[in-house]
């Protein structure tokens, strides 16, 4: 795989370990012993004779065989020479634990460069790295305690933070963790390398990423494509919500498309589902481990309390989930399993009439699950075992498991309070193929994420989108006037209003007559970037006198006057923009347009090239998408024409990628179905290639 470390299997699944150092190396030995590691462990220390009951070797050259992996737990300066010795011996991979490298400044960067040079072709995690835990094979190159245990199958988690990794091992939610990998400074092994290594292990059910930054987007694309080919879903918790618009930018696109929106688009294009909190991260991984991606968002909820039913209903309202009503036959089937006093609905409050009756509960649960929901939830908070009897909860779980087996449906138990889902219960449910959710909001977050994962799987793995050659350094820009910008885009298929470029008010009146009233009138020039802010736009001019008066008002603000046909039947106004991110290159922004574009803040970012279906889906997902579908008796917008217009803008951008600095079409006027979409205003900034350009 281009750009990726070719093989991390010896590092992550070793049979022969070398541990170099004193205190931290000793802790690695203890952790491996506690986890039942069955391979060889060879301590290396210049003066000790034994370490944790094992013979210590005084140098790497003294080792009895070539180690598959090594833990380098010495100071940063000594690490360089020892790394070289390990590389010379043919070690399969190394954890470089010491800190004080690139994270501390120029001197540290120089030392890190020396460490990389010393490693040669030997891959290593770090430096400034806590190492990794392989709970599948009992391998811990990890110099600290942790909260996990051996598993036969589980999720892989990758993080750039050792402390986050440590915290995640302490979870008590029943999530089986197969690997916990920390990356530190990523001097050699990066995020993409770790993803590729984990998805190649068939025991890994899903991968979770805690991301502070993506160092190599092109490699990330390759690794995530491999994951999709292998059918391994990926969930990301990306921290850092800073805006890309810290620089001075003249286009609307630059001001509303922040770095975080670009990250969203990039992850989405890679088939990675993004979540926003650690609880959602863990619950999503748990759901994916048990059930995999979900085919849809139709959910059912069952509880013996109307209060719990209402909590589920309220939590689902603002989400892409549907508490679908039962049809007549389905409702009748459920009703047959319940006393007459119970009203059948979804969410279902089955009351407590049958509480403690395993057979009756099995019939009710099975009837609900037979209705074909994508996920069926049973809201059930477990009592404290130290003070309460939980026998009836046991039979309720048996009833749910039997119903799931009979119906073949997906089932989950949701504790409204996370602490009311004990770890032992959660682990037993996972083993039974039932998802144990800790918290209602977290459960619905996870289901939404798993539905998105299903959509991304359905799209299939795509070839990498990044076109590194299209990246261009920012430089002095020249802006086309509106007329020239529109003509440039028109050549790529964008529809623009019928218009004339004129030099004086008299010519403006003549042009208006030729075009036909009503018209718009604008002052245009390369220096006029936002005409409405300086009063350089006059709309809805209906006769000669109105045009003449308006032309006199704005004459002299620009180089010329632009007279255009007025578009008066727009269903919605869009913004279509192209900007450049320093990591991923050109991206496309679509959203609600007009003069209030920043205030409305309704937009989606797509990586280029974006496909027709991708653009259409983005438009429908926007708030303005409600208008495009037809709102309160108003005509629906010509979405197909809008998509074609966006594709035309994209075509121009890709054709001029090496020079394009920014591009805005705002607004793109979407007319009723069959009447098209028209670009009312355009801004294009190109990099100057010569002094006179």
Residue 534 sits in a domain whose CATH number is 3.30.1490.20
- The residue out of 181, 211, 232 marking a domain boundary is 232
- The residue out of 184, 206, 232 marking a domain boundary is 232
Look at residues 112, 117, 81, 86 and name the one whose alpha carbon lies nearest to residue 17. 86
pLDDT of residue 263: 85
DSSP-derived secondary structure letter, 212: S
**Helix (H) or strand (E) run with residue 424 in it:** helix 423-431
537 lies in the same domain as 504: yes
Structural domain of residue 67, as residue ranges?
Answer: 9-232
pTM: 0.88
Is residue 177 within 8 A of residue 286, CB to CB? The reply is: no
193 lies in the same domain as 44: yes
Q: Cα–Cα distance between 469 and 429 in angstroms, integer?
A: 50
Is residue 449 within 8 A of residue 284, CB to CB? The reply is: yes
445 lies in the same domain as 520: no
Token pair in block for residue 206: 């899903």
* Residue 452 backbone class (left: φ over 0; alpha: ψ -120 to 50; beta: rest): alpha
Is residue 89 within 8 A of residue 60, CB to CB? The reply is: yes
Neighbours of 542 (CB within 10 A): 12
Look at residues 445, 397, 430, 393 and name the one whose alpha carbon lies nearest to residue 171. 430
DSSP labels, 99-111: --SGGG-HHHHHH
Q: Cα–Cα distance between 450 and 287 in angstroms, integer?
A: 7
182 lies in the same domain as 48: yes
Look at residues 370, 354, 372 and name the one whose alpha carbon lies nearest to residue 303. 354
- The residue out of 519, 540, 565 marking a domain boundary is 565
504 lies in the same domain as 450: no
Q: Cα–Cα distance between 189 and 449 in angstroms, integer?
A: 28
Look at residues 574, 555, 542 and name the one whose alpha carbon lies nearest to residue 638. 574
* Domain presence at residue 178: yes
Specify the residue for token string 């933070």: 161
Q: Give 549-574 pLDDT, tens digit per residue.
A: 999 999 988 889 999 999 989 999 99
Specify the residue for token string 């909190």: 277
* Domain presence at residue 324: yes
CATH number of 43's domain: 3.40.50.720
Is residue 364 within 8 A of residue 338, CB to CB? The reply is: yes
Neighbours of 471 (CB within 10 A): 16
Q: Cα–Cα distance between 78 and 60 in angstroms, integer?
A: 13
* Domain presence at residue 101: yes
* Domain presence at residue 266: no
CA distances from 203 to 126, 177, 178, 460 (A): 25, 11, 8, 22
437 lies in the same domain as 538: no
410 lies in the same domain as 448: yes
Is residue 508 within 8 A of residue 547, CB to CB? The reply is: yes
539 lies in the same domain as 593: no
146 lies in the same domain as 48: yes
* Domain presence at residue 433: yes
DSSP-derived secondary structure letter, 350: -
546 lies in the same domain as 401: no
Q: Cα–Cα distance between 345 and 360 in angstroms, integer?
A: 18
* Domain presence at residue 201: yes
Q: For residues 105-132, b (16+ Cβ closer than 10 Å) or e, as one string? A: eeebeebbebbbebbeebbbbbbbbbbb
CATH number of 350's domain: 3.40.50.261
Tallying the residues shown for the chain, one arrives at 693
pLDDT of residue 198: 98
Domain count, the chain: 4
pLDDT of residue 526: 81
* Domain presence at residue 599: yes
395 lies in the same domain as 519: no
Token pair in block for residue 48: 């000790």
Q: Give 233-280 pLDDT, tens digit per residue.
A: 999 998 865 443 333 233 444 443 457 788 888 899 899 999 999 999
530 lies in the same domain as 608: no
* Domain presence at residue 657: yes
Non-local (6+) Cβ contacts of 88 within 8 A are 60
Is residue 167 within 8 A of residue 189, CB to CB? The reply is: no
Q: Cα–Cα distance between 567 and 575 in angstroms, integer?
A: 16
Q: ω before 197 within 30° of 0 (cis)?
A: no
Residues of the chain with pLDDT under 50: 242-257, 461-462, 468-470
Is residue 183 within 8 A of residue 12, CB to CB? The reply is: no
Surface-to-core class of residue 523, CB atoms within 10 Å of its CB (0-12 exposed, 13-18 middle, 19+ buried): buried
Instruction: For Cα atoms 623, 624, 625, give the angle at the middle one, nearest 5 degrees.
Output: 85
């Amino acid at each position: 795989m281009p750009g990726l470390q070719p093989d991390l299997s010896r590092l992550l699944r070793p049979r022969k370990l070398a541990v170099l150092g004193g205190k931290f190396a000793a802790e690695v030995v203890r952790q491996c012993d506690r986890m039942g590691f069955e391979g060889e462990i060879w301590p290396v220390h210049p003066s000790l004779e034994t370490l944790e009951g094992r013979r210590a070797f005084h140098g790497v050259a003294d080792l009895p065989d070539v180690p598959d992996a090594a833990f380098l737990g010495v100071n940063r300066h000594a690490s360089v020479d020892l790394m070289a010795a390990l590389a010379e011996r043919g070690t399969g991979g190394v954890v470089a634990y010491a800190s004080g490298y690139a994270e501390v400044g120029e001197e540290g960067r120089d030392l890190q460069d020396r460490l990389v040079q010393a490693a040669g072709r030997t891959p290593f995690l770090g430096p400034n790295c806590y190492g990794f835990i392989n709970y599948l094979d009992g391998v811990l190159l990890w110099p600290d305690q942790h909260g996990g245990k051996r598993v036969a199958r589980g999720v892989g988690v990758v993080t750039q933070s050792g402390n986050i990794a440590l915290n995640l091992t302490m979870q008590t939610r029943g999530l089986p963790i197969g690997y916990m990998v920390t990356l530190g400074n990523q001097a050699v092994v990066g995020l993409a390398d770790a993803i590729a290594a984990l998805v190649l292990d068939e025991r890994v059910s899903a991968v979770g990423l805690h991301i502070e930054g993506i160092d190599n987007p092109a490699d990330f694309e390759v690794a995530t494509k491999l994951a999709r080919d292998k059918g391994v879903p990926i969930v990301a918790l990306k921290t850092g919500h800073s805006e890309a618009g810290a620089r001075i930018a003249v286009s609307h696109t630059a001001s509303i498309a922040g770095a975080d929106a670009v990250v969203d688009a990039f992850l989405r294009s890679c088939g990675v589902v993004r979540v926003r909190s650690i609880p959602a991260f863990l619950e999503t991984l748990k759901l994916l481990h048990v059930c995999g991606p979900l085919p849809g968002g139709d959910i059912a909820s069952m509880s013996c309390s109307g209060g719990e039913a209402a909590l589920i209903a309220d939590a689902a309202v603002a989400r892409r989930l549907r508490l679908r009503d039962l049809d007549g036959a389905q409702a009748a089937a459920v009703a047959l399993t319940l006393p007459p006093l119970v009203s059948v609905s979804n969410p279902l409050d089955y009351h407590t009439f049958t509480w403690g009756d395993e057979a009756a509960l099995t019939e009710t649960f099975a009837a609900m699950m037979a209705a074909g929901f994508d996920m069926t939830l049973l809201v059930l908070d477990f009592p404290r075992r130290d003070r309460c009897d939980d026998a009836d909860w046991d039979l309720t779980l048996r009833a749910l498991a039997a119903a799931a087996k009979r119906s073949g449906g997906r089932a989950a138990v949701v504790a409204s309070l996370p602490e009311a889902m004990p770890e032992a219960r959660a682990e037993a449910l996972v083993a039974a193929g039932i998802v144990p959710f800790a918290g209602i909001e977290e459960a619905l977050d996870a289901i939404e994420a798993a539905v998105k994962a299903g959509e991304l799987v359905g799209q299939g793995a795509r070839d990498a989108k990044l076109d590194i050659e299209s990246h261009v350094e920012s430089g002095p820009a020249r802006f086309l006037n509106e007329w020239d910008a529109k003509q440039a885009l028109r050549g790529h298929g964008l529809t623009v209003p019928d218009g004339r470029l004129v030099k004086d008010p008299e010519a403006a009146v003549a042009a208006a007559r030729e075009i036909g009233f009503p018209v718009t009138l604008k002052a245009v020039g390369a220096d006029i970037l936002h005409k409405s802010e300086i009063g350089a736009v006059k709309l809805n001019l209906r006769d000669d006198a109105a045009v003449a008066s308006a032309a006199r008002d704005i004459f002299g603000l620009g180089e010329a006057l632009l007279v255009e046909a007025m578009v008066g039947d727009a269903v919605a106004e869009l913004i279509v923009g192209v900007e450049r991110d320093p990591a991923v290159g050109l991206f496309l922004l679509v959203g609600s347009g007009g003069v209030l574009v920043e205030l409305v803040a309704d937009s989606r970012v797509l990586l280029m090239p974006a496909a027709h279906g991708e653009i259409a889906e983005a438009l429908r997902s926007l708030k303005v998408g409600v208008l495009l579908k037809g709102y309160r008796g108003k005509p629906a917008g010509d979405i197909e024409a809008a998509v074609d217009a966006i594709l035309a803008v994209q075509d121009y951008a890709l054709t001029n990628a090496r020079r394009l600095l920014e591009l805005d079409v705002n607004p793109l006027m979407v007319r009723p179905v069959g009447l098209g979409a028209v670009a009312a205003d355009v801004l294009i900034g190109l990099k100057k290639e010569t002094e006179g350009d």
